[in-house]
Amino acid sequence: MKKYWLCLFALVLLGCEVKKPEIPLFIYDMQDAYMFDFEARIQNQTNEAILLTTIDGQNSQIIQNEDIDRWINKKVPLLIINPVDRLSVYSIIEKAKKNGTKIIFFNREPLAQDMALYDSVFYVGADAAESARLQAQIIMDLFGNDTKLNAADKNGDGIIQAVILKGEQGHQDAEARTKVVVETLIESGYAIEVLDISIANFDRATAKAAMDNLVALHGQKIEVVISNNDAMALGAIESLIEKGFFIDSDNNGEIDRLTETWIPVIGIDGLDIAMEKIESGFLYGTVFNDSQNMAEAIVELAQLLIRGEDISGLSFSISDGKYIWINYKKITNQ
């Protein structure tokens, strides 16, 4: 008799066990250094309540669309998407809407008109213009917070000679960061001459090659390298080391800015490896693109959406009923 009750108890327990909902997490390209780190933060954030399966779009919207179709057909309640091409998510939203599948987009922001197509579509990201304004502040600090400029103005002409490494064309961050960093400096009374803008797709190796080229074209004229992200800043530093713009004379692996040759390179993202380069004096500064907070927002929102609960209970504030904006932070070791 005792055995019977024990079995019944076990059965009830098993029967009542709630299966974790499996939710797909689409990443546009796991080769992207920032997204690789971001994905890990999202996964680390999930708890017993949710199982996330990561799907790599391999930088192909065609591949990502096929995967999204498969998951919509599986009738999952929610898709978490870092789209390959943020400008062509229209059909994804339409399909999800037809099937009642909710969507959280992140990092690559769909057009406002596409976001407006469906009530159950959300975006978690950061305001790219803000990162550019903070990057401009780092540049102003570098030039002594004085529009007459300090000794960082190598040729003493009162003008900042800069080269810009731009991320992927059409990406909201690449476009806004490139434009707003220059605008902010000008609005703050600084004279800036952009010697060149090279597109290096947010990628380290592409930026290394681009920087080789920029050095060949502009050489010692360059006073600052402004990069749309850290991966490209690190690629630029590799090139600049090879070309003798950084000389670690005592070979201690660090650049002493008072006694050794260096050139300011400024990134955005705050990758761990970039933080190490700030410590060792190779990277002048960066702006933290807070993927940790974004990961927390995504997972918290996902849980509410899966349970069909009211999102007003979220611990992050929501603008226009759809957007969660996470602030950037300025980082230097000055």
Nearer to ligand BGC, 34 or 71 (CB): 34
List the structure tokens of 224.
Answer: 């600052």
Q: Which residues pair with 121 in a beta bridge?
A: 103
Output the smallest distance, CB 238 to ligand BGC, in A: 17
Q: How many CA atoms lie within 13 A of 128 on its CB side?
A: 17
108 binds ligand BGC (CB under 6 A): yes
Q: Cβ neighbours of residue 245 under 8 Å, at least 6 residues apart?
A: 215, 261, 262, 263
Output the smallest distance, CB 14 to ligand BGC, in A: 43
161 binds ligand BGC (CB under 6 A): no
Backbone angles phi, psi at 267, to 5 degrees: -115, -165
List the structure tokens of 303.
Answer: 């849980």
x/- track of binding to ligand BGC for residues 216-235 (CB under 6 A): -------------x-x----
202 binds ligand BGC (CB under 6 A): yes
Place of tokens 């980082």: 331
Backbone angles phi, psi at 108, to 5 degrees: -120, 105
Output the smallest distance, CB 229 to ligand BGC, in A: 3
184 binds ligand BGC (CB under 6 A): no
Q: Which residues pair with 299 in a beta bridge?
A: none
Q: How far is CA 44 from the centre of its chain?
A: 17
Pick from 114, 130, 153, 269 the residue near ligand BGC by CB under 6 A: 269
Nearer to ligand BGC, 127 or 223 (CB): 127
Output the smallest distance, CB 105 to ligand BGC, in A: 11
Q: How many CA atoms lie within 13 A of 264 on its CB side?
A: 27
Beta carbons of 198 and 210 less than 8 angstroms apart: yes
**Which is nearest to 172 in space by CA: 278, 325, 55?**
325
Pick from 42, 265, 268, 299 the residue near ligand BGC by CB under 6 A: 268
Output the smallest distance, CB 82 to ligand BGC, in A: 7
Output the smallest distance, CB 232 to ligand BGC, in A: 8
Nearer to ligand BGC, 161 or 289 (CB): 289
26-45 binders of ligand BGC (CB under 6 A) = 32, 34-35
Instruction: Report how far residue 3's alpha carbon sits from residue 253's, in angstroms, rounded to the nearest whole number.
Output: 69
Q: How many residues bind ligand BGC (CB under 6 A)?
A: 13
Output the smallest distance, CB 60 to ligand BGC, in A: 14
107 binds ligand BGC (CB under 6 A): yes
Instruction: Report how far residue 158's alpha carbon sits from residue 291's, in angstroms, rounded to the nearest whole number.
Output: 37
Q: At what angle do helices 230-242 and 272-279 cross, to 10 degrees?
A: 40
130 binds ligand BGC (CB under 6 A): no
56 binds ligand BGC (CB under 6 A): no
Instruction: Report how far residue 126's alpha carbon sits from residue 160's, in angstroms, rounded to the nearest whole number.
Output: 28
Nearer to ligand BGC, 222 or 294 (CB): 294
Output the smallest distance, CB 208 to ligand BGC, in A: 15
How many H helices and E strands in the chain? 11, 12
Name the residue type at position 145.
N
282-311 binders of ligand BGC (CB under 6 A) = 289
Nearer to ligand BGC, 174 or 222 (CB): 174
Name the residue type at position 326.
I
Which residues of the shown chain bind ligand BGC in the complex (CB under 6 A)?
32, 34-35, 107-108, 171, 173, 202, 229, 231, 268-269, 289
